Amino acid sequence: MANLLGVALFAVFILISVSLHEAGHMLTAKAFGMKVTRYFVGFGPTLWSFKRGETEYGVKGIPLGGFCKIVGMTPQDDDVDPADEPRAMWRYPVWKRTIVMSAGSITHFALALGALWIIAVSAGLPNPNFPSTEKEFRAEPAVVALAPCVVVENANRACQAGDPASPAAKAQLKDGDRITAINGTPVATWGDMLDVVRAAKPGSATVDYVRDGTPAKATVDLAAVQRPPLDDPKGAASAVSALGVALQPSTPTRVTYGPVAAFGATADFTGNMAVQTVHAMQRIPQKVPALWTAVTGGERDVDTPISVVGASRLGGEAVANDAWFLFFMLFVSLNFFIGVFNLLPLLPLDGGHIAIAWFERARSWVYARLGRPDPGRVDYLKLMPITYAVILIGGAFTLLTVTADVVNPITLFSR
């Protein structure tokens, strides 16, 4: 029930953000004097509507987004009343059209930034000094957090009935103990400890550790497990020993900020998120084969793109596991991604309309300097084949992603 509630709650959050996206277009268009005739939440048959002034507001039956109708977005629009021609959007200065078309993405960015600031002063943002690479993790002190069991086979899953208990837990080690030696071999870092444990034979081993500043020693029965090489996580697994512990990093995973400092932390985190978003978008074509593998029965790569369906499912998982930080970070990431994606210079995206507006402006400037007549506006009808191609590719990719999220979804919490 909690999972279903989380899915519904996340879907509502997405619907609200998309509706606000359209409201951004509408409000800026109205502020500049453009005529907006319709603003609706949802698609399909109208469930309820009312008219205020020259705009009809309402709700439609399919809650998968929203739209607003601005009169005369392009010179080729053939449904503009002659009386409304002076207020047609395409007649306005390019800077005003740019603000109107980018207002949707700006709304998504505002939602993401506002949510991040609230998270920064309440739950805290990810610590920028937290280890992020294998090299950094290996350099951490060998301070352990006990695992409830050891998974014998080479599988990344939670403990199940029948899994052997953690050898460290059976030997009465505790979270926060710092390992200093294994079988007399000194270990200074987490990487040292992994190397020494894996090289040891399964069975009895002595572990020197420090607890609350006091040295101590324990006898541990190392478990025999199957693991890939440390320097090749996708390599062939072999038999090694395991202590049944995880790393307890020396730095906290999150940092909480005061109201003023949270602005700087939010800006820094947003900058990092922007870089990661661009890299993720660049990798999308490379991930299509992995998505197809997931749809056809193969293992789902956790690094593959997800749709709104997948994001909602992850939101449901987060709520079911009381992981509200993850829930809201998913909301932040999705809004930021939508904001960036919508600014790509491709029709029918908002970024495509912005690119054409500035292309017209630049072309007119060049022709004026050359003493040639203004070539006028771009004919959108001639761009329709490219627009249809973008819609077709985007629709196919969306269908593939949604299918993968339904038949083989990404899960962050093992059942």
| Same domain? 383 vs 359 | yes
Same domain, 238 and 334: no
Tell whether 201 and 276 lie within a shared domain: no
Mean pLDDT of all residues belonging to the chain? 90
Three-class SS string for 379-411?
Answer: CHHHHHHHHHHHHHHHHHHHHHHHHHHHHCCCC
CA–CA–CA angle 22, 26, 32 (5° rounding): 150
| Spatial CB neighbours of 401, under 8 Å, sequence gap ≥ 6 | 291, 305, 306, 307, 310
Q: Are residues 233 and 290 in the same domain?
A: no
338 and 202, same structural domain?
no
**Please, which residues have CB within 8 angstroms of residue 150's CB and are 6 or more apart in sequence?**
163, 164, 165, 166, 167, 223, 225, 242, 244
Please indicate, yes or no, if residue 141 is contained in any of the structural domains: yes
pLDDT surpassing 50 at residue 388: yes
> Which are the catalytic amino acids?
22
205, 343: one domain: no
293, pLDDT greater than 50: yes
Q: Are residues 262 and 391 in the same domain?
A: yes
The number of beta carbons lying within 10 Å of the beta carbon of residue 274 is 14
Distance from C-alpha of 308 to C-alpha of 321, rounded to nearest angstrom = 20
Q: What is the pLDDT of residues 320-332, one digit of tens each?
A: 888 899 999 999 9
Interval 131-150 mean pLDDT: 88
Q: Are residues 266 and 313 located together in one domain of the fold?
A: yes
Q: Is residue 84 part of a domain?
A: no
Domain boundary residue, one of 212, 229, 247: 247
Q: Does the pLDDT at position 176 exceed 60? A: yes
CATH number, residue 174: 2.30.42.10
Residue that terminates a domain, selected from 195, 215, 247: 247
In a domain, 347, yes or no: yes
Q: What's residue 68's pLDDT?
A: 93
Evaluate if residue 415 carries a pLDDT over 50.
no
Do 322 and 413 fall within a single domain? Answer: yes
Q: Per-residue pLDDT averaged across 81-98, rounded?
A: 93
pLDDT, residue 414, reads 53
> For 48-67, how does the pLDDT look when each residue is reduced to its tens digit (9 = 90+)?
999 999 999 999 888 878 89
| Interval 358-383: pLDDT, tens | 999 999 999 999 999 988 889 998 99
What pTM value is reported for the model?
Answer: 0.82
Same domain, 180 and 195: yes
Residue 131: CA count within 13 A, CB half-sphere: 16
Residue 144 resides in a domain: yes
Range of the domain at 303: 94-130+255-415
pLDDT of residue 345: 94
Total domains in the chain come to 2
Across 141-170, average pLDDT: 87
Q: Do both 287 and 191 map to the same domain?
A: no
Q: Is 99 part of a structural domain of the chain?
A: yes
Residue 104 lies in a domain: yes
| Residue 291 placed within a domain | yes
Worst-scoring range by mean pLDDT, 25-39, 104-118, 151-165, 318-332? Answer: 151-165
Q: Taking Cα atoms as reference points, which of 413, 125, 87 lies closest to residue 258?
A: 125
Taking residues 1-27, report their average pLDDT.
89
Tell me the per-residue pLDDT of 21-47, one tens digit each, with 9 for 90 and over: 999 999 999 999 999 999 999 888 999
Last residue of some domain: 247, 277, 307? Answer: 247
Residue 370: inside a domain:
yes
**What pLDDT was estimated at residue 7?**
85
| 328 and 404 co-located in one domain | yes
